[in-house]
Structure 1
């Protein structure tokens, strides 16, 4: 169907085996090219760090849904994990949640997009908190520098059209690139992962 399975390499890997078993790891050749390019650039900058992906797409026809995602249906979308560090400031490939979703970076009180969206009636906005299956690395901290570097590497790829993260993270990381934007209240919150689309 014009999609290829993402291969684990020394610089790119799935967060969980379940993603691969359930065939949620297929992308178009162009998307795969972007992933491998950024993964190599990231490992050059941070030799011990891999590009860790979460959900991509099924290997089926365009339009086939990938629950619970709204748009992962054409091979051109993929979710990536933030980069974390330990309490002693060492970068790690570990993630706080089992699935990679649902363990959020808390927003400041004056910029709580989640509360705003839920008050507007979008009850599903933080539903992924139920999909975390546990927070198994509670002491991990977001690496602002490495995550910002990853976002900039992604945004520098000409084929990448949009990158979604929460507004408070864009402000916190001091990023002004217009490709990096808010996804709207109709989706789910994006302060637990990065969504990219070509």
Structure 2
């Protein structure tokens, strides 16, 4: 639980200590106390302590939403204040260009302690990073808020035969984990939508225009396809996982 939520293990330990070993239905009572304490901590206590560690909960708006309630329930929605401000500005500007279309975020960071890993990510450990969903369109070419997976991860916009296949290169070199997120979709949905080059390019360009953003990670074939020539666009390395199911960006 600590690996997934940062605070879950500690709260479960407290729940165990509060219920005597001799108590009737002790397991059920511990689960009940854990649930109450966890919800209180996640939604009332943690948001007020996180600023001490230089982080704050992502401020959702009409145009900025989490892909799943899980990211908020698991305390994976914390960033530094300057990143919070930037993602809010990006979401607002994107909606002005595309009425009704939201910027959808995925994993960000835990609320406490630099270098505490937010698995399965290698670098989401300092409040500076966030993943956002690609943009999709329906059959008639109109942008949609629908996504192809429940989690927001794991459904890839594959390279064509003429495009560079970074996944094949990395796996050939022994980096077996490179496409591991395909197991983290929690279900594939919305088969009627397609990747939107126009929408994703607009979103990426808005991100890159933010002066305090230092890097943007996206798969090499999408960088080429979307004509993203800004020096901030980098390759994340074969030791990470592929980025043709989401965009990662971070502060300088």
For Structure 1 versus Structure 2, the TM-score category normalised by the shorter chain is over 0.9
Listed one character per residue, the Cα deviations across residues 1-42 of structure 1 (whole Å, up to 9, x for unaligned) are 211111221110000010010010000001101101111111
Quick one: which of 215, 221, 224 aligns to 1:168? 221
Using the TM superposition, give the Cα deviation of residue 175 of structure 1 relative to its aligned residue in structure 2, in angstroms. 1.7
Partner residue in 2 for 1:31: 83
Q: Alignment length, in residue pairs? A: 198
Larger Rg: 2
Partner residue in 1 for 2:242: 189
Partner residue in 2 for 1:61: 113
Quick one: which of 149, 157, 172 aligns to 1:119? 172
Q: For structure 1, which runs of at least 5 residues remain unmatched after alignment? A: none
Distance in 2 (CA, whole Å) between partners of 1:197 and 1:175 is 16
Q: Return 131-140 or 50-59, whichever deviates more.
A: 131-140
Using the TM superposition, give the Cα deviation of residue 88 of structure 1 relative to its aligned residue in structure 2, in angstroms. 1.8
* Deviating 4+ runs (over 6 angstroms): none
Alignment partner of 1:134 is 2:187: yes
Distance in 2 (CA, whole Å) between partners of 1:89 and 1:115 is 30
Distance in 2 (CA, whole Å) between partners of 1:46 and 1:25 is 25
Root-mean-square deviation (CA), in Å?
0.8
- Secondary structure at the residue paired with 1:170? helix
Q: For structure 2, which runs of at least 5 residues remain unmatched after alignment? A: 1-52
Return the TM-score normalized by structure 1. 0.98
- Secondary structure at the residue paired with 1:23? coil
Partner residue in 1 for 2:161: 109
